[in-house]
Structure 1
Amino acid sequence: MYDQYQAIIFDMDGTLIDSGQLHEVAWTETLNKFAIPIDRPLMRSLAGVPTKGTIEILLKHFDCKVEASLDVMNDFKEAVVREKINDYVKPTALLQLAERYYGKKPMSVGTGAYTDEAKSIIEQCQISYLIDHVVGADLVAAPKPAPDTFLRCAELMGVAPEHCVVFEDAKLGLEAARRAGMAAVDVLDVLGIENDYFL
């Protein structure tokens, strides 16, 4: 049903990759270490926001004073992700769609995660061969809900935005896809894929 599009873009966490529990565990350890409160609905609403951006929002929301820098807290979370990655990540049902279009359409991942972390997760799931490009939050001026991530994916694939379809699980990501002028598929509504993240 997606034959009309020339290229496919996947969000990673909660969309192409079932990694909700990985990030929930990593965030829980990080927030506990730096004495930042955990508000589960707030954390879920921030799905897709890069780590440093999430921390900034949390510090402002809870009016927290933390001595550690954003870089230190970000590095701590990324270290937990690396340590736990083997225990939690696996592809979602979207793997079947990616396999169906492999070699027929270019496919990219556009994620709020940082590029190196995203590539590690994709490699861990043994699906790197399906993905032509990975664009993380560190490769664009403005992360989701800005359209930059998905526009960069389209540019790398050499396909006009209006000919791309984006698969997303987060409201911010769906907004980013629409702002990029791309078709947006809510994977929960359309495919029943739910991100198991701070539910």
Structure 2
Amino acid sequence: MINLHDNYDGLVFDMDGTLADTMPTHFTAWSRSMAMHGIVFPEERFYALGGVPAGVIVDMLAKEQGKTVDADAVAEAKEELFLELLKDVQPILPVKAIAEFHREHIPMAIATGSPKWVAEKILKALGIYDWFGAVVGADDVEYPKPAPDTYLRAAELIGVDPKRCHAFEDTELGMQAARNAGMTVININTLL
């Protein structure tokens, strides 16, 4: 097991695709909700935009494809569909093991591109919600990922200097956000 609390004061985890294997379920929800509005969202593009808030994605794709939609309503419908599929979500075991090992020794937080209420439901469904001192969603900051604000707010809420945090991420945009916050980034794809 990687013992991080000797060198760092806090751990901050992305959630979707990092701590929880939500990405396939999110893609299913995205595909169905976007199809209802005639918007195509290729799987490769979906993974490239990991961590970007849903409303921003809907607005971007609608404009690119010449569609007019209520981005917030489409994003909300996508989240509701995702929650219906939540029973299918499993933890990413190597990352969960790291969090479990450190949970009583070092402050930990979640910094996610999902809305906070969705993140909390996922963490509760996985039985790990109480492991984290803070959950920061895209709706908690003015500038979500790839801006560093989500990570900076998470570190602030657990009372740790961002430069003394390890951040766990699975996407390039998320890693960029954590690096810009001054954190040491662990690409979880190297752990799998």
Please classify the TM superposition score into its range, dividing by the shorter chain length: over 0.9
Q: Which sections of structure 1, spanning at least 5 residues, go unmatched?
A: 193-199
Aligned residues: 188
Give the letter for the 1:148 counterpart: D
Aligned to 1:7: 10
The superposition leaves residues 11-35 of structure 1 with CA deviations (integer Å, 9 ceiling, x where unpaired) of: 0000011111110110011111111
The superposition leaves residues 31-61 of structure 1 with CA deviations (integer Å, 9 ceiling, x where unpaired) of: 1111101322222211111100111221232
Deviates more, 1:52-61 or 1:114-123: 52-61
The superposition leaves residues 66-90 of structure 1 with CA deviations (integer Å, 9 ceiling, x where unpaired) of: 3x3112101210110111111x211
Write the mapping of 1:1-199 to structure 2, written as runs, cut at 5 A. Answer: 1-3=3-5, 4-62=7-65, 64-66=66-68, 68-86=69-87, 88-92=88-92, 93-189=94-190, 191-192=191-192
Query: 1:43, 1:161 → 2: CA distance?
Result: 28
Q: Secondary structure at the match of 1:158?
A: coil
The superposition leaves residues 84-103 of structure 1 with CA deviations (integer Å, 9 ceiling, x where unpaired) of: 111x2111121111111111
Could you state the TM-score of these two structures normalised by the residue count of structure 2? 0.94
Q: Which sections of structure 2, spanning at least 5 residues, go unmatched?
A: none
Query: 2:103, 2:48 → 1: CA distance?
Result: 32
Deviates more, 1:105-114 or 1:33-42: 33-42
The superposition leaves residues 127-160 of structure 1 with CA deviations (integer Å, 9 ceiling, x where unpaired) of: 1121111000000010111000000011001111
